[in-house]
A = this chain, B = another copy of it.
Amino acid sequence: MSDISEATINRLPLYLRELEQLQRIGTARVQSGQIAKRLGFSDSQVRRDLSVLGSMGQRGVGYDVRSLIGTIRNQLGGDRSWNVVLVGVGNLGKALCGYRGFDQHGLNLVGVFDVDPAKIGTKLGDHVIRPLGELESLVEEQTVELAILAVPASVAPAVAQRLEVVGISGILNFAPVNVKQKLSSLTIVDVDLAIELQRLAHAVLRARSEKSED
């Protein structure tokens, strides 16, 4: 599992999304070149990534869409389902809660939490917003392993620590701050808008320099 490079792992969800879209419109087989075009990757990149998974396309026939989806889901841990809690109901939390992609990826949003007394007890979609004090019992009852952290940066490290104490294994962190604790066994994935925009700026510069080299 850990033999696959981080860069390849990061591309797997993109392949999965494309393959699922193809499956939805009834496509049974796909060539690496088609996937490459849709994603803006090179053909050899796609073949290399998929061969790492043990999936070899047949010349002229391509890959079986359904089995490739299974392989990638399995690799990503998406063949099992994960219970997820959302902590922090600001604009971002609201947007995340309304996101309709959880179910189809094996992710069950089982609880929504905030500290604001004005929000606690009100409804957000199908969920009643709960106080943080109820986190521990829910995590135990429902075996919650993942949390989405959408609280302000100032409180994010403390909330992350609390999430670890109650037994959460992984945090998707939207606060623009490092919530990784020393000696912690928590797994953190950060989504930071400024960082993503910097990646974009860099990618634009790189695309221009490659173009000027042509």
**Residues of A bordering B, CB below 8 Å:** 1-2, 5-7, 9-10, 12-14, 16-18, 21, 37-40, 75-78, 82, 84, 90-92, 94-96, 98-99, 101-102, 104-105, 107, 145-146, 148, 169-172, 176, 178, 180, 182, 185, 187-211
Q: State whether B180 touches A40 (Cβ < 8 A).
A: yes
Measured in the bound complex, the distance between the Cα atoms of B39 and A193 in whole Å is 18
Q: What's the dominant secondary structure at chain A's contact region?
A: helix
CB neighbours (8 Å) of A169 from chain B are 204, 207-208
Q: State whether A178 touches B2 (Cβ < 8 A).
A: no
Q: State whether B146 touches A172 (Cβ < 8 A).
A: no
Q: State whether B201 touches A77 (Cβ < 8 A).
A: yes
The 3 A-B pairs at the shortest CB distance, nearest first, are namely A92-B95, A91-B95, A13-B195
CB neighbours (8 Å) of A84 from chain B are 197
Smallest CB-CB separation from A180: which chain B residue? B40
Contacts A98-B91, A107-B197 hold; do A187 and B207 have CB atoms under 8 A apart? yes
Q: State whether B192 touches A77 (Cβ < 8 A).
A: no
